[in-house]
Amino acid sequence: MPEILVTENITGDAMDQLHKEMDVSFEPDLWSDPEKLKEAVKGVNALIVRNQTQVTEEIIAAADDLQIIARAGAGLDNIDTKAAEAAGIVVSFTPQANSVSVAELAIGLMISLTRQIPAADWDTRAGGWNRQIFTGGELSGKTLGVVGFGRIGVLTATRAKVFGMTIIGHDDYVDPESPHVKELDAKMLSLDELLAKADFITCHVPLTDGTREMFNAELFGKMKEGAFFINTSRGEVVDENALARALQNDQIGGAALDVRQVEPPDASSPLNGLTNVILTPHIAAFTDEAQSRVVDAVCRDVQAVLKGESATDYFNFAKPRR
């Protein structure tokens, strides 16, 4: 029977079923011990991970019988996809399963920022009744800049459109004439143009060498005064010290980060002391609905690939050699 190794806390009905049908080792803490992981992947046919397991070239080299690395989620930055492809290992992921949840959190954070919902809540609990302080603004009539106009960016823009926002986008890989751009009546701009125009900037780029710390002091300096910045993609795309300075100097109006440069973040982060910041612990994709779809999808993909069939969404197109 094929051996399946799960190295993070990935559970649900579909996983229970997989346990019944296949030889599944559930090791939810294994991601934190790379040496132990290197040993554990030997002889394993399928590896199921979320975002904490670093599936490096070394791990892939040690995995002598691996057919599929199934990523329960959308980002592939924790997997050396090139090494997997070279080894003939399929890398599947589940971008369709959790995108709506991420887009909904991005909208929630936009409203929370402009209406100061967390601060109003703390103040009221502390006995305040400060209606004149917590005035805020509307999304309606404002411009949303979507950096990264892929699936999640488009879902966020679609929801923002319903609130009466004007959509502008930046994405080097998206044709400005493509139907989803047209349907949203969106304009694709250079990054500098977008930063100069947007009242809200929502970031949906993957983490690559090109996007690492792309939101730095220079980019924050190019944003409109009072702009709100929202990041639900990857923390490493933001230079957090530069963001803290931009917020301290009132260069921008506020920021909401669901993802951090280091997760979990250092308790001494300068962002912790700022009132115009909302911080959440990488929960964008962690709704019940999304997680159930994600687990269904990884289990389905693992079973398919182990039977010699194709995964639904996969990164590498090389015909598996194993």
The residues that are catalytic are 234, 263, 282
Length of the chain: 322
Helix, strand or coil, per DSSP, at residue 26: strand
- Among the listed ranges 9-17, 72-80, 149-157, 176-184, the one in contact with ligand MLT (CB under 6 A) is 72-80
Interface with ligand MLT includes 285 (CB under 6 A)? yes
Interface with ligand MLT includes 75 (CB under 6 A)? yes
Cβ atoms within 10 Å, residue 38: 15
Interface with ligand MLT includes 74 (CB under 6 A)? yes
Interface with ligand MLT includes 186 (CB under 6 A)? no
CB closer to ligand MLT out of 75 and 265: 75
Interface with ligand MLT includes 148 (CB under 6 A)? no
Q: Tell the residue number behind the tokens 């300068």, with chain if given.
A: 270
Query: Cβ 48 to ligand MLT, closest distance in Å?
Result: 12
DSSP code of 168? Answer: E
Interface with ligand MLT includes 51 (CB under 6 A)? yes
In order of 47, 65, 82, 104, 137, the CA distances from 78 in angstroms are 13, 20, 12, 24, 38
Burial class (CB in 10 A: 0-12, 13-18, 19+), 169: buried
- Among the listed ranges 11-19, 70-78, 238-246, 308-316, the one in contact with ligand MLT (CB under 6 A) is 70-78
CB closer to ligand MLT out of 66 and 74: 74
Interface with ligand MLT includes 260 (CB under 6 A)? no
3 beta partners: 23
DSSP string, 237-281: GB-HHHHHHHHHTTSSSEEEESS-SSSSPPTT-GGGG-TTEEE--
Among 98, 143, 269, 316, binds ligand MLT (CB under 6 A): 98
Q: Which residues bind ligand MLT (CB under 6 A)?
A: 50-51, 73-75, 98, 285
